[in-house]
Amino acid sequence: MTTVQPNNAGNGSGAVARLLIVGPQGSGKGTQGVRIGEAFGIPVVSTGDIFRANIKEGTPLGQQVTEITQRGDLVPDELTSEIVRDRLTQDDAAAGFLLDGYPRNAVQVRHLDEFLAAKGEKLDAVILLDVARDESMARLRQRAVDQGRADDTEEAIAYRLDIYERETAPIIAVYGERGIVDTIDGTGELDAITARILSALEARGIVPATV
């Protein structure tokens, strides 16, 4: 499948690290994901960014997902997983990747497991950015004002947080059973949050090759 990819490839200088960052909308996972991706020299694969880029370019995929994303609903699992598999098969993801926004429910966890297991791979760590719902809502309202994102209406924000709590929060338990979840306090200064994430990964022996 050919999809428009946002330009967020890593710099290729890091070690192999297969990571997932998860948290409610407004937790700052997009911002922190980019920082961690840069630190490790691995591409950040954000399904939300891929969908937004395709909507902006008016590709067939973009047209297919415009209404779904505006409602705050999830794009069908098969389609989303196909896009991610396609992206993770590209050369720059061979040395690792950081997933942001995928997997988002139990079916997508299974799809990712199957894809990685077929290559003898697995996720190394799951970074859970912990931010209270009220704080997420406040940040998302501010982002709607600052960035004018079409999917950031008040209703859509609340709806997406509901979906997160219902469908995405439970997958953390699945990864928790595997012992790979690091829960990180997502409040405070951006640099402090990044440092918390890096030290949690370091405690697992996951360190950027260049440090």
Q: Which parts of this chain interact with ligand AMP (CB under 6 A)?
A: 25, 47-48, 51, 68-69, 72-75, 80, 101-102, 104, 108, 151, 160
CB atoms < 10 A from the CB of 89, how many?
11
Catalytic residue, chosen from 29, 35, 139, 196, is 29
Active-site residue flag, 104: yes
Active site residue 178: no
* Cβ proximity to ligand AMP, 152 vs 208, nearer residue: 152
Q: What CA–CA distance (Å, rounded) separates 50 from 183?
A: 26
Query: E strands, the chain, where?
Result: 17-22, 44-46, 96-100, 125-130, 181-185
Q: How far from 111 is each of 79, 84, 208, CA to CA, in Å?
A: 11, 10, 27
18 is catalytic: no
Query: CB 29 → ligand AMP: shortest distance, Å?
Result: 8
Smallest separation, CB 150 to ligand AMP (Å):
10
DSSP code of residue 17: E
Please, what is the minimum distance in Å from the beta carbon of residue 18 to ligand AMP?
16
Would you please indicate which residues are annotated as catalytic (active-site) residues?
A: 29, 104, 143, 149, 160
